[in-house]
Amino acid sequence: MQEQINFLKVALSDRQIGAMTRSSKYVVKAIMRNLSDLSLRRVIEYGPGDGVITKAILNRMPKDGQLIVVETNLRFLKILRDIKDPRLKIIKGTAQAVSKELKSRNHASVNLVISSVPFSILSRADREQIVNNTFNMLEDSGKFVVFQYSPILLSLLKKYFDPDAINTQFELRNIPPMFIMTAQK
């Protein structure tokens, strides 16, 4: 319960955070089920917040895997830095700029990108840039998982990914309910 309260305090102080509560255990389980066929070798998470999905990924990730999280909020960055795991790399920045950061670190491709970035408050150009960059970073058969309160990104996902390779779920047991969209390259 304290984690929910702490999340709410941070969310109320930052208009860039699109959630009022952290993702429920049902959302975490649904996301992880979507990844059951994927080796979590090199993963990027946009907007990890307080790390609820981050921890689930690290629990499934092989010892030689790497998880790069990209966060803008200073209070969430502090919480993320408390996760002591050598596979976790934390970047202060935006999803729009992450591909430049990866190139500077000589990371060519990833096999999974997870995003809780609030696309509904971003401009169409920013949404397009994030999806385009993500598609280009993903290796063949890699996945882009987006969880949001709105399916606003679905049409853009269909522009870049094969529509038959996009799965959409709706998790009612989250407050508020959440769309989970998984697109495979």
Domains, the chain, in order of start with CATH, read 2-184 (3.40.50.150)
The pairing of beta strand 110-115 with beta strand 88-92: unpaired
Give me the pLDDT at residue 21, please. 64
Percent of the chain with pLDDT over 90: 72
Write down how long the chain is: 185
* Closest to 89 measured CA to CA, from 108, 102, 103, 75: 102
Give me the pLDDT at residue 9, please. 44
Spatial separation of the C-alpha atoms in residues 176 and 159, rounded to whole Å: 27
Give me the pLDDT at residue 98, please. 83
Give me the pLDDT at residue 172, please. 95
* Closest to 72 measured CA to CA, from 114, 18, 21, 25: 18
Give me the pLDDT at residue 28, please. 96
The model's pTM is 0.88
Token pair belonging to 54 = 């981050």
Token pair belonging to 153 = 């990104």
pLDDT < 70 stretches in the chain? 1-21, 103-107
* pLDDT tens-place string over residues 32-77: 998 988 889 999 999 999 999 999 999 999 999 999 999 998 989 9
| Cβ proximity of 77 and 45 under 8 Å | no
What is the identity of the amino acid at 176?
P
Contacts of 62 (CB under 8 A, 6+ apart): 39, 40, 41
The pairing of beta strand 178-184 with beta strand 166-171: antiparallel
Give me the pLDDT at residue 15, please. 53
Give me the pLDDT at residue 112, please. 96
Give me the pLDDT at residue 2, please. 61
Spatial separation of the C-alpha atoms in residues 50 and 64, rounded to whole Å: 23
